[in-house]
Structure 1
Amino acid sequence: MSAPGWTRAFTDDGAVDVEVLGGKGAGLVRMTRDGLRVPPGCVITTAACHVYLSARALPDGLLDEVRGRLSDVEAATGKTFGAGPEPLLLSVRSGAPVSMPGMMDTVLNLGLSRDAAIALAVRAGDTRFMADLVARFHAMYSEIVLGALDDRDTVDALVNGVNRDDDPAAVYDRVWAAAEAALDEELSESVPADPDDQLRHAVEAVFRSWNTRRARTYREHHGIPHDMGTAVVVQSMVFGNLDDASGSGVVFTRNPVTGEPGLYGEYLAHSQGEDVVAGIRTPDPVARALPAPLLAELEGSCAELEARHGDVLDVEFTVEHGVLYFLQVRSAKRTPEAAVRIAADLLADGTATPARALSLVTGDQLRAAQRPGFDDEALSAARAAGRVLLTGIGACPGQVCGELVLDPDRAKERAEAGAAVILARAVTSPADLHGMIAAEGIVTSTGGSTSHAAVVARALGTACVVGAGALEIDAAARVVRVGERVLSEGDPVSLDGASGELVAGTLPTTTPAAANEAMDALLAAAADAAGCEVLARVTVPPDVVAARAAGATGVVTAVDDVLAASGDLNHLVETLLEKGWDGVGAGTALDEVRRAIARQVSGLLAAAGDHDVDVRAIDLLADEARELLQQTAVTTRHPELALPLGVPALIAAQREGLALAASEAGYGGRMRLAVRHVSDPAEVRALQSLDGDGPGMGTYLTSPRAVLGAEALVELSEVVWLEVRALQAAMFGIPARQFLTAAPLDDYVARGLLGIDPRHAIDPTVEPLLAVLSEAGRAHPEVPVGVRLSGTVSDRVASRLYELGFRRFAVDLPEVRPLILGLGRAALAG
C-alpha cells in the first residue's frame, strides 16, 4: 500500500469501513459527519497494524503521513503540537473492528514537551492542572510503552502539593525529574521529551497491545479472530480536568443493565476519561451531575445517534470549560436481560427492523436470560436474618453462589477444580481477566456502572456488583471486612447482580419463570421469519408444559429416557438379564416393557394435547448411557440387541405400549416411533410390516451409510431424524458422549489439534451428507425430515442447517428459544 493511504482524517469523504478504521475510528468519522462536536484527528488504519505485526516496524511513510494530518489539525484548532503558545496535545488510542473494552492500550496527553507544558499552564492559568497532566502522561507512557509497574506514590504526592499560581517552569522540572527518577529506579529507561518520538513509540505500543496475553484471552473467549488487527486513533485532547466546569462521562442511550429507556450513565467532574472507566473513583449519575443545558444537549444528541444506528450505544464524552465534546460511540455492552428487552423495544417502536432487532440478541444471551435465580422465600428470609452483608451497584444481573476468592489466579485454580467462585476485588483491571472469566460472580469495592469490572462482566454475562464501598478487602490476610463482620477466603456467599446485594452463605436457586413479554415478542418475530418446526426433547409431563411455553411446536422423547426418569429402566434391564425376551405372555420381559411404557408415557401424552410427539425406541447401544443400560452385560448375553431389528418383538412391544398410553391419555395428536441405527431400506420395510396397531414407524439416522442412502429410507419411512452429533462423532472417530462435555475436547481444540470444534460447528466433511438428506426431504415433502441436535446449539450451526434447507429440528428443552432465535436470524440474514 503506497502512501498516502495509511491514515484517514475524521473529515475525509469515503465509505466508513469498520474493518479498516476500527470501531472507534468509524464512530468518530460518523459523528463528525453528523455534525457533532468531535475533537479533530485521524485514524491509522488496520492495514498499518498488519504491516507492523508482520515486519515489527512501522510502514514506510506512515509517520510522515501522520505528521501531515497533524498539520491539518493544527490549522483547524490554532494549536501547535508540542509547543506554545497554544499547545496541541494528543490522545493515542486503540480501536479494533470489534469492541474489546479495556483490553488494549491508550496514551493520553501526548506531546508534553517542557515548552508545551509551561505554555499550557499559562493558557489555563493553573499550574496544578499542568502538573497533573505531566504526571499522568509520564505514568501512562511508562506503563504502556515501556512496561513499567511502579504506581509512583512520590510523584502523586508532589503533584498534590502544587498550587495554581506556582511557577510552571519550576514545577515542570520538579515533577518530570521525580517521574524520571522513579522510572529509572525500576527500568533504567527514560520517557522521551521530544513529542515526535513520543508519538512514534505510542503508536507502536498500541499496535503491540493487539497481541498481549489479556487481549488474546479476551478474543479467544469471545470467538474474535486474531488476524483483524487494530486501528489507532490520533486525536486532539480536550481536558475534563481543566476546572470545575469540566469533566468526563460515559453514558448509554438506554440502561444496559435492565434495558429501560432513557439516558443512563455517569459523570465525574474535574476528571479525565480514564478516571471514569478505570473504576478508581466512583462517579455520579449523569442526570444529577451534569448541568441542565449540557444534559439536554447530550440527551438530544444521543437520541439522534440511537435512531441512526438502530442500536443502544455507549457514548464517551468530555466537557471542557462548559463545552460538550464527543469522543467515542459504539454498540453498548449489555446484560442478557437488557439485550432481550432492548431488541424487543426497538422492534416495537420501529427503530429496528425484524432483521436488525434479532441481530441484537445472541443465543448465549437468550440462554443467560433463562438461567435460574434465588428462591424468593429464601432470599427474603436471609434479608430478615441480617445476612445481607452490603448493597453495591448492580452492574450485571444474575443470582449466583460460590466461595469467596480474592485473587484472580486462585479464582481460576478453584474454578478448574470444579468450585463455583465469587471474585472480590477492590478494583479490576485487564490483568484480572482470567479470574473474571472463571468466576460465577464479581464484586468490587469501588467503581461505577461504567467501570472496567462492570463493562467486562456485561460482555461475559457474569453477575457483577460494583461500588460496594462497605467492602474492605485484606488480600494479605485473605479476609474481607464489612463493618464488624469478617469473612475468610473460601467462605460461601451469594451475589445478586441486579439488586447489588452480597449475602453471607448459600441461597437455594430455582428455575426461572416462563419468558417475559419482550422475549415472547422477539421469538414470535423469529418464528414467523423462519417458518420452522422446533420440537423439544422431554422426559416428564412438566417438561411438555415448559416446551410449549418456550414456543416448541411439538416434542420428542425416547422410551429409555422416560423409563430411566421413572426408575423403570433398571428393573427392565435386570428382568432382561434374568429372563431374556422369550415369551410374549403376562410377566415376561416384553410384557413389562409394554406395561411400563403405557404407565409412564400416558402423562406425557396428556400434557402434549394435540402437539406432535416423536418417540425414539429403546437403544441398548446408546453410547452416552453405557453404564446406565449395563450395556456390556446385556449385549454379551443377547448379542442380537446390537442390531436395530435384532429383536422385532421388542419394537412391537414398545409400539403397543405407546398405543395404550395414547388411549389412556386421550391423546389427539400425531405420534410416531423411530428406530435408531437403521441404514438399509430392507430394515425400514421390516419396520413397516410389523403386526398390530400403533404409531407410524420411522428411522433415526446415525451413520454416514444411512445418510448416503437417505433417498430410499425417506421414501419408505413415516418420519426421519438425523442425529447430527452421532454423524459428526462417526466422521471424527470420537465417542459421541464426548461431544456433550467440556473436557477433554476443550483442551484438545485449544491445542489446535482439530480444525474446528465439532460441538459448535458443522464439519466440512459432514455438509455434503446433510445436503443429501435435505434433498431427499424436498423430494418427499409428505415425510417429515428433521435434524436432532444435542447440547448447546451455536448460532453458527443453526444458520448453516437453515441454509442447507432443513426446516424441522429437535433440541434439548433449554435450547428451544435460542434455536428459534438463531433460525429467525438466519432466515432474515439474506
Structure 2
Amino acid sequence: MNGCADMKPHTRFTVTFEDADPGDVGLLGGKGAGLARMSQRGLRVPAGYVISTEACRHYLRTGAMPDGLADEVFAQLDVMAKRSGKTFGGGPVPLLLSVRSGAPVSMPGMMDTILNLGLDRDSAVALAEATGDTRFMADLVVRFHAMYGEIVLGAFADVLDTEDLLATVSPSDDPGAAYDRVWTACARALEEDGDQSVPQDPREQLLGAVEAVFRSWNTRRARTYREFHGIPHDMGTAVVVQAMVFGNLSDDSGSGVVFTRDPATGEPGIFGEYLARSQGEDVVAGIRTPHPVRKALPPAVLAELERACAELEREHGDVLDIEYTVERSTLYFLQVRSAKRTPEAAVRIAADFLAEGTVAPAKALAPVGLDQVRQVQRPGFDAAELERARAEGRVLTTGIGACPGQVSGVVVLDADRAKERGDAGEPVILARQVTSPADLHGMIAARGVLTATGGSTSHAAVVARALGKACVVGAADIRVDTGSRTLVIGERVLAEGEEISLDGGSGEVFTGGFATTAPAAASGALSSLLSAARRAAGCAVFSRVTLPGDVEPALAAGAGGLVTAVDDVLATSGHLDALVRELLERRDVGSVRLDFVADAVAREFTPLLAAAGDVEVGVRAIDFVADDSREHLQQTALTTQYPQLAVPLGLPELVEAQIEGLGRAIRDSGSRGRVHLALRHVSDPAEAAALRALRPDGPATLSVGAYLTSPRAVYNCAGIAAESDVLWLEVRFLQAAMFGIAPRELLTAQPLDGYMRRGMLGTDPRTGVDPSLDPLLAQVAAQAADHPACRLGMRLSGAVSEQVVARLYELGVRRFAVDADEVGPLSLALGKAAAKTG
C-alpha cells in the first residue's frame, strides 16, 4: 500500500475504501462506510472507491456532473487497475465493475445497481479465455445489457429474452463469435424498445452508470419511501464503484445474504441464504430458490463467515445484514449494514444485548422503536392479511377512528344481546346508530364499538376510550335496522351474528375476521427490556386507569403509579350522564343535588383504590369543558345554563363534593397509597390557594393540586406550586395552545397529516417540541425545582413521542403519566434518554 502512495490521484469527490473515514456516513453513504470499515479491519473486500454524496447533491441542483468528477473517476479506476493487476476494457485479466447506490440512510431496494460493467469485445474475449468458459462470458454480457438498458437507458426490464440468447452459447464456443452474436442481439432488442444502445466504450458506460445512480435518488419509488419513513430529500446518495467478483463463475462459486441473528425472531446465530452459481441480484430477484447458509456453504467458508459475522456484530454493536460472494471457494464481503428486523426480533435482540453485556445500553436500545414496542405488546391484525383484505375489497366503510385497537367479532345490534353473548365468551362488536348511557353494559361486554353518527368527542368515543375498547364512530354509510336485525352498508346487508372487524386507528370496517398476532411479551424479552430501561431512567411512570380491573395490567406493564379522572370513572358507570341530566333539568345551582356526586364518587372509587393498594393515585376532577368530551357532556347547553362551569372553581361546591367522595373512598377502601385530586385549567395562584382551602383538615390522606394547560399557568407556575401538593403539566394542551388549534386534533391523523405534507408547519405538534414551547417547559421544570414539596409531573396523552420525552428528561422531569398502552413505549423512551445523557 505504501509503495503505491504516489499513485493516489488528487481528489475532491472520490475516496478509496482504504483512505475513507468509516465514520463519515453522511459523505460516504451507508454502503461506502461499511465497505471502508471492513476493508480497514482486514476482511476480504473487492477493491473500490466511493463517489461522495456531495457530488450527487451538485448533480441534483444543477442537472450536470461536477467539474472534474469524470477525471477523478477515471484516475481512481486507473489506480484500482494497477493495484489489482487487471485491465479495464481489455485483457489479459479484465477488470469489471459494480456501480451501486449507497445513501446515508438505508433504503433497501429503492435505488439502482449495475453489475458487470466494463465489457467490450476485447475484455469479453479476454474474460472467456481467462476463465475457459465462453458461456459464462455470454451470461455476463446479457446481464449487463439488461441492467444497463433498464437503469441507464430506461428500457423495459423484460425486453431481453435471456434464456433464448444463452441457449445458443456453450462453454467451448469461440469467444469472439459468441460475443458478436450475443452483443448484437442485445443491442437490437434495446434499439427496438427505445432506439438506444449500450455504449461500446467501457469508460462511457461508467459515466452513464454513475449519472443514472444519481438520477435514481429522485425516482418516484425512492421519494415515496423517504416520505413514508421521514427521510430528508436533500441528502443525496453516494456511488460505490467496486471490482466485480463472480458468484456465477463455477460450481464452487455463489452469492448470498446473511444476518448475524435471525431478523424475524432475534434468535442468536447467523441466519441467511446461499445460492450457488449466482450473482447477488439472483438472490434478491427471487427467480431461483436459495438454500440455508448453514447447509449450503462449504465448512471452511462457513466457518470464516461465522467468525467475521461475530466480529462485525461486536464492533458495530448491532445486528447486521451482510452481502457476500464466493468465487471459487474464496469468500468476499460486499456490504454490511444494520439489519431490518421485526418488532419481536428488535425487542429480543436488544434484551439479549443487555443481558450479554456486549453492547452499551444506549446502543442496544437505539434500534428499538416505540412503534415496535406498541406492536409487540398489543395483538393486532396480521399485516399481510390486512393488505390482502383491502386489495380484495373487504372494506365495508371507513368512519372516524376514535380509540385504537384491531378487533374481530360478530355484529350485535343492541346492548342487551351484546352483554348476553359477550358474557358467554363470544367476541362481539356492538353496532349502534348512536350510543347512549343505556348502552353502557353492552359496550363493556363488547370487544369493539361501531356507530353511524357522532364524532371523536361523542358518547361512544369518550366511553370507549375510558374502557380501552376499539371504536369507530361516524361511519355515515351504515344503517342499523333493529327491526330486521340487519346492518345495512350501502348495498351490503349483514345479518346480526355475521363477523366483522374494526380498526379503531384507521376507522376501517371490514367483512369477516382476521388472524391476530399475539404479543411477544410472554417470552419475557419485552418485560426484560423495559425493566432495564426503567431502571436506567429512575422515573416514576403513572398509567391511566378507569376500572378496578385496569389496575393489575397497568402495574404488570411497569407503572409505578396510577392516574384517573372522575368524569371517566363516572362515565363508565352511567353516573356522569345522570349528573349532566340533573344539571340540565335544574334551573339554578342551588337546587342541584351535589350529595349525589359525593355518593357516586365514593361508590365508584372505593373498589378502584382498593385494587391500587399502596400505589400512588392521581385523580383529575370533572372537567365540564374538556375538549375531547364536547358532545358527550353537551357542553354548549351546560355552559349556557351554568356559565360558572367554564372556569375551574366556578362551582366550588362541585369540587367539594368530589373531595368528600374521594375521602370516603380512601377510608372505605383501606388505601395505603397517596391520593391526590388535581383540578384542570388552573392558571392563577389564587385558584390554587382556593383549592387548597377546600381540602379537609386532619391527616393528609388526600392532597390537592392542578393540571396546567395554558401559557398563563406556566407563567404563574411558581405561585401555583407554592399552593399545591402536586402539579401536572398537560403537554398536549400547552402545545395546542401555542399552535392555536384544539387539543383533540393532536390525537388524530387529520388534519395535521395533510398539513404537514404541505409544509405548513415547521414542527409537528404531535411528535416534536416546538421552539415556542421549549422555554415554557424549561421554565416549569426550573420553577418546580425551587418548590420540592410540590411534585411535578408531565401528562402525555396519546402516542408518546421519543423526541418530547428526551427533552423533558433532559430538563430534569422524572414523573410522567400516560395512557395505559403507552407505559411500555414511555419506558423505552426514558431508557433511551437516560442512556444518552448518562
Normalising by structure 1, what TM-score?
0.83
* Alignment partner, residue 663 of structure 2: 659
Contact 1:515 1:550 in 2 (8 A): no
Paired with 2:405 and 2:820, the residues of 1 have a C-alpha distance of 24
Partner of 2:260: 253
Alignment of 1:224-373 (within 5 A): 224-373=231-380
Equivalence for 2:621: 617
After superposition, what is the alpha-carbon deviation per residue over 1:466-502, rounded to whole angstroms, capped at 9, x for unaligned? xxxxxxxxxxxxxxxxxxxxxxxxx9999xxxxxxxx
After superposition, the Cα gap between the structure-2 partners of 1:415 and 1:292, relative to the gap in structure 1 and judged at 3 Å, is: farther
Equivalent residues in 2 for 1:142-153 (5 A)? 142-153=149-160
Q: 1:205 offset after TM fit, Å? A: 1.1
Deviation of 1:519 after TM superposition, in Å, equals: 2.1
- Contact kept, 8 Å, 2:558 with 2:824, in 1: the verdict is yes
| 2:651 alignment partner in structure 1 | 647
Work out which of the residue numbers 737, 741, 749 in structure 2 matches 1:742. 749
Local SS of the residue matching 2:686: helix
Equivalent residue, structure 2, for 1:771: 778
Q: Which amino acid aligns with 1:667?
A: S
Aligned to 1:688: 692
Q: Which residue of 1 is the match for residue 634 of structure 2?
A: 630
Contact 1:43/1:233 (CA < 8 Å) preserved in 2? yes
CA separation of 1:510/1:658 partners in 2, compared to 1, >3 Å: closer, same or farther? farther
Alignment partners' CA distance in 2, 1:516 and 1:567: 39
2:695, 2:703 within 8 Å by CA — same for their partners in 1?
Answer: no
- 2:222 corresponds to which residue? 215
Tell me the SS of whatever aligns to 1:707: helix
Contact 1:581 1:589 in 2 (8 A): no
Residues 1:730 and 1:96: Cα distance change in structure 2 (over 3 Å): same
Counterpart selection for 2:164 from 153, 157, 178: 157
Distance 2:545 2:348 in 1: 28
Give the Cα–Cα distance (whole angstroms) in 2 for the partners of residues 361 and 297 of structure 1. 29
Superposition deviation, residue 401 in structure 1: 4.4
Matched with 2:203 is 196
Are residue 807 (structure 1) and residue 810 (structure 2) matched?
A: no
Tell me the CA shift for residue 178 of structure 1.
Answer: 2.1
Q: Contact conserved, 1:401 with 1:492, CA < 8 A, in 2?
A: no
Cα offset for 1:154?
3.0
Partner of 2:451: none
**CA distance in 2: counterparts of 1:17 and 1:644, whole angstroms:** 55
Instruction: Give the counterpart of 1:69 among 49, 65, 76.
Output: 76
- Aligned with 1:669 (options 647, 669, 673): 673
- Read off the aligned partner of 2:653 and give its amino acid letter: A
Match of 1:569 in 2: 576
Aligned counterparts of 1:282 and 1:173: Cα–Cα separation in 2: 32
State the shift of 1:506 in Å. 2.2
Q: Which residue of 1 aligns with 2:612?
A: 608
CA distance in 1, matches of 2:706, 2:336: 53
Do residues 678 (structure 1) and 691 (structure 2) align?
Answer: no
Match of 2:760 in 1: 753
Distance 2:366 2:531 in 1: 14
CA distance in 2, matches of 1:413, 1:67: 60
Seen in structure 2, the aligned counterparts of structure 1 residues 189 and 649 have a Cα distance that, compared at 3 Å, is: same
Code of the aligned partner of 1:169? G
User: Shift of the alpha carbon at 1:807?
Assistant: 1.4
Partner of 1:180 in structure 2? 187
Change (3 A) 1:402 1:628: farther
CA distance in 2, matches of 1:621, 1:368: 33
Distance in 2 (CA, whole Å) between partners of 1:789 and 1:219 is 28
Structure 1 residue 761: Cα displacement: 0.4
Q: Provide closer, same or farther for how the CA distance between residues 550 and 251 of structure 1 changes in structure 2, counting only shifts above 3 A.
A: same
Contact 1:370–1:515 (Cα < 8 Å) also in 2: no
Classify 1:82/1:417 alpha carbon distance in 2 versus 1 (closer, same or farther; 3 Å).
Answer: farther
Q: Does 1:733 align with 2:733?
A: no
CA apart distance, 1:534 = 1.3
Q: For residue 454 of structure 2, what is the aligned residue in structure 1?
A: none
Q: What is residue 789 of structure 1 aligned with on the other side?
A: 796
Change (3 A) 1:730 1:184: same
Inter-CA distance 736–511: structure 2 relative to 1 (3 Å threshold): farther
CA change 1:695–1:493 in 2 (3 A) is closer
Distance 1:810 1:57 in 2: 54
Give the superposition deviation at 1:810: 0.9
The answer to which of 361-370 and 674-683 deviates more is: 361-370
Whether 2:823 is the aligned partner of 1:823: answer no
Q: How does 1:228-627 map to 2 (within 5 A)?
A: 228-373=235-380, 401=386, 403-404=388-389, 506-507=513-514, 509=516, 512=519, 514=521, 516-579=523-586, 582-583=589-590, 589-627=593-631
Note the C-alpha offset of 1:416.
11
Q: Which amino acid aligns with 1:535?
A: F
Cα distance, 1:403–1:195 mapped onto 2, change above 3 Å:
closer
CA shift, 1:79, in A, is 1.0
CA RMSD of aligned residues (A): 2.6
* 1:771 partner amino acid: A
Do the aligned partners of residues 82 and 414 (structure 1) sit closer, same or farther apart at CA in structure 2, a change above 3 Å counting?
farther
Tell me the residue number matched to 1:83: 90
Q: Structure 1 regions of 5+ residues with no counterpart?
A: 375-396, 422-490, 495-503
Contact in 1 for aligned 2:520/2:526 (Cα 8 Å): no
CA displacement, residues 185-211 of structure 1 (integer Å, 9 cap, x when unaligned): 222112111111111111111111112
* Structure 2 equivalent of residue 467 of structure 1: none
Q: 2:30 is matched with which residue?
A: 23
Distance 1:346 1:116, change over 3 A: same
Match in the other structure for 2:476 = none
Q: Report the secondary structure of 2:161's partner residue.
A: helix
Report the CA distance shift for 1:663/1:281 in structure 2 as closer, same or farther (over 3 A).
farther
Query: In structure 2, do the counterparts of structure 1 residues 541 and 581 end up closer, same or farther at CA, with 3 Å as the change threshold?
Result: farther
Looking at structure 2, the residues matched to 215 and 13 of structure 1 have their Cα atoms a distance apart, in angstroms, of 26
Distance 1:580 1:811, change over 3 A: farther
- Report the identity percentage: 61
Amino acid of the structure 2 residue aligned with 1:627: E
**Matches of 1:412 and 1:198 in 2, distance apart?**
49
Question: Counterpart of 1:593 in structure 2: which amino acid?
Answer: V
Structure 1 counterpart of 2:627, one-letter code: D
Provide the aligned length of Structure 1 versus Structure 2: 724
Q: When the two structures are superposed, what TM-score results if normalisation uses the length of structure 2?
A: 0.83
CA shift in 2, pair 1:289/1:681, >3 Å: same
CA separation in 2, counterparts of 1:414 and 1:322?
A: 58
Check conservation: 1:355, 1:828, Cα contact below 8 A.
Answer: yes
Whether the 8 Å contact between 1:514 and 1:546 is mirrored in structure 2 is no
What does residue 480 of structure 2 align with?
none
The aligned residue for residue 720 of structure 1 is 727
Q: CA deviation at 1:510?
A: 8.4
Unaligned runs of at least 5 residues, structure 2? 1-8, 407-497, 502-510
- Determine the structure 1 residue equivalent to 2:124: 117
Does the C-alpha gap of structure 1 residues 118 and 402 become closer, same or farther in structure 2, counting only changes over 3 Å? closer
Inter-partner Cα distance in structure 2 for 1:347 and 1:22: 29
- Paired letter, 1:334: R
Deviation, structure 1 residue 509? 4.5
SS of equivalent to 2:172: coil
Query: Shift of residue 155 of structure 1?
Result: 4.1
The offset of 1:326, in angstroms, is 0.5
- Take 2:143 and 2:22, find their aligned partners in 1: how far apart are those partners? 36
Asked whether the equivalents of residues 401 and 506 of structure 1 are also in contact (C-alpha less than 8 Å), the reply is: no
State the alpha-carbon separation in 1 of the partners of residues 74 and 375 from structure 2: 48
Contact preservation (8 Å) 1:340, 1:366: yes
